[in-house]
Amino acid sequence: MSPGFQRSRVTRHRVVVLFAALAWVVTSVHGQAAPAREDAAARKLDAHLRHAIDRDGDEIAQRVIVRVDPSAAAAVAAVLTQRGDTLLRYHAGISAFTVRSKRLVALAKHPGIASISVDAPVAALQTLAAPAAPLPNDEVVRDTVSVRGSYTGAGVGVALIDSGLEASDDFSGRISAFYDFTRGGVAATPYDDYGHGTHVAGLIGSSGALSKGAYAGLAPGVKFVVLKALDSNGGGLTSDVISAIDFVTANRAALGVDIINLSLGHAPYESATTDPLVQAVEAAVRAGIVVVASAGNYGRNATTGVIGYAGIASPGNAPSALTVGSFMTQDTVRRSDDRMNGFSSRGPTYFDGAAKPDIVAPGYRLIANAAKQGSLFAKYPTLRVAGSLTEDYITLSGTSMAAAVASGVVAQLMEANRSTNLTGRLTPNAIKAILQHTAIRMHDDVGAEYDALTQGAGALNGAGAIGFARGVLNNTAVGAAWLDLALSPDSGSTLIGGETVVWGNTVVWGNTVVWGDTINVNQPAWANTVVWGNTVVWGNTVVWGNNLVADQTVVWGNTVVWGNAVLQGNTVVWGNNDLTAVSNGNATLNGNTLVGGDR
């Protein structure tokens, strides 16, 4: 099942190339391209490419991802070949080519081309701060956001798209397959030359055998399908990640995959509606796979420490992804002292103004497996956890870690639901709704509730979500109550660390808020055909700044909205003056539904 660029598939898809397309080739090869800002075709190019063309011209070949109308795939392939472009890969799941090409504005004029995007570098989303003393206790994380012992994720498959996984006794017998997409997707012996993927896998489902259970993951019964897309420096290409997602989606049943974990990302350069990485995620979710994605680590200005909004990375901006931000447990089980991490990316999404993150989970100073052959282990010895001669574990922070914790809880939730449902499966959107409904609203040091663009629906409450999922009857008719109260009473609260914590009871679909006990009924919204609603206009001044598209780095320019500033017109209230002040119904501004929660 090793994938690759299969040109013959495209050729068979559309044998006849129209004469009109051939005539278009002549003009595109020999014509003079206008500056990107002046040409209507340039609207098909992402922001990075438009900026690069305006700055450097359109005669520099770039590695790009060209999305096409499926019916025009063969015609576009012929055009690319005629132009002398280098076709590198075809992504059947999103009908797109990865190609090295120039004269992109002329290329974009082809009627069969939907969008052209830079093949952006992606990176692991962790921070490398050294662990503090005393070391955090992983049992705290498990007791804080999960139910220990009852459910292990048995029977659930997790696709880990990351830097790989170094085999050890903590994963014995549970690495089902390994494919190396840094080498074209070939099947290979498991390895991790960086270390991020092994750490993420450990948080999801390490058995803890090497630590006598001390550093076990959330779901030690899951099986892993590993798809290496990041190199020895924790970097990679968007096209490799898309190929990995495409491969999992196409072979989901054979691979036994229920969850894809994406603890990686890149800065957004275009709307989610055209972003090829987002489109790959959407296709996976439509196929029934829960895709868990990191929100990003762009919540705070690295120089000033000031918090900013609209820093959600791609593919965390995918509407159907379960996008996870990060909070810190303060190394206690109780939830009242949980606090948001400053680095955790806030919403909304940059180009579309969609509500993100969906939830937040522990992501600060978490201990999990080390890849001792990887560069992280070699270059950063201070990350190693002392206490054994072999130093089998390291400490990392970031929304990468938070996403991994969430993936582990999703695996437990799936097992719990299947234990009471012999047939039928919860849809990915139903799982997201359950996690949001049972999430816990968090407060800062002075007791003010974090706004919904910071914490989403709230902090992950695995105990509540797992219990709720156990009581859901999957085959319930649409419009009927689907919660068996005998199996799982919807108490609206959970006892954690000696405290009774109240559920947020809020589900956010795009920009639409569902309140109260709506989750108790099986609705079309919980199906894969969910409509995500209209885009809220959040204004034009957010964290990415004006220079982001130039060099793919986060620039905290002069047009950033910080803190408690209230913007007028077609935008929202930021900071602590957020939209959760309303207690009944949906709040609207200029006709758009805003993000809120029960207070």
- Please check whether residue 262 is in contact with residue 241, taking contact to mean a CB–CB distance below 8 angstroms: yes
400 counts as catalytic: yes
Q: Extract the tokens encoding 521.
A: 């009924």
Residue owning tokens 């005669």: 59
Residue owning tokens 């750490």: 199
Q: How big is the CA angle at 231 (ends 221 and 8), to the nearest 5 degrees?
A: 90
Whose CA is closest to 324, among 347, 353, 350? 347
**Catalytic, out of 51, 196, 266, 437:** 196
Instruction: Using the Cα atoms of residue 54, residue 60, residue 63 and residue 64 in order, give the sign of their dihedral.
Output: positive
Q: Which helix (H) or strand (E) holds 283?
A: helix 276-286
d(CA 224, CA 217): 13
232 counts as catalytic: no
Question: Which amino acid is residue 533, in one-letter code?
Answer: G
**Catalytic, out of 46, 162, 193, 490:** 162
Question: Which amino acid is residue 517, in one-letter code?
Answer: D
184: left (phi over 0), alpha (psi -120 to 50) or beta: left
Q: Extract the tokens encoding 413.
A: 């939730």
Contact partners, residue 449, CB within 8 Å, separation at least 6? 441, 442, 443, 578, 580, 599
Total residues found in the chain within this entry: 599
Whose CA is closest to 407, among 144, 124, 156? 156
- Please check whether residue 265 is in contact with residue 123, taking contact to mean a CB–CB distance below 8 angstroms: yes
DSSP string, 66-129: EEE-GGGHHHHHHHHHHHT-EEEEEEGGGTEEEEEES-HHHHHTSTTEEEEEE--EEEE--B-P
d(CA 576, CA 326): 18
Instruction: Using the Cα atoms of residue 339, residue 342, residue 344 and residue 346 in order, give the sign of their dihedral.
Output: positive
Angle (deg, nearest 10), helices 399-419 and 462-470: 30
Q: Which helix (H) or strand (E) holds 437?
A: helix 428-437
Task: Write the DSSP symbol of residue 480.
Answer: S
**Catalytic, out of 400, 437, 451, 488:** 400
List the beta bridge partners of residue 65.
Answer: 98, 117
Other beta carbons less than 10 A from residue 375's beta carbon? 18
d(CA 59, CA 76): 20
3-state secondary structure of 264: strand
Task: Write the DSSP symbol of residue 524.
Answer: G
Contact partners, residue 506, CB within 8 Å, separation at least 6? 436, 437, 439, 457, 458, 513, 514, 515, 596, 597, 598
196 counts as catalytic: yes
- Strand 62-68 versus strand 96-101 pairing type: antiparallel
Q: Cis link prior to 136 (omega < 30° from 0)?
A: no
Task: Write the DSSP symbol of residue 533.
Answer: -
Instruction: Using the Cα atoms of residue 53, residue 125, residue 297 and residue 530 in order, give the sign of their dihedral.
Output: positive
Q: Extract the tokens encoding 42.
A: 């340039």
The residues assigned a catalytic role are 162, 196, 400
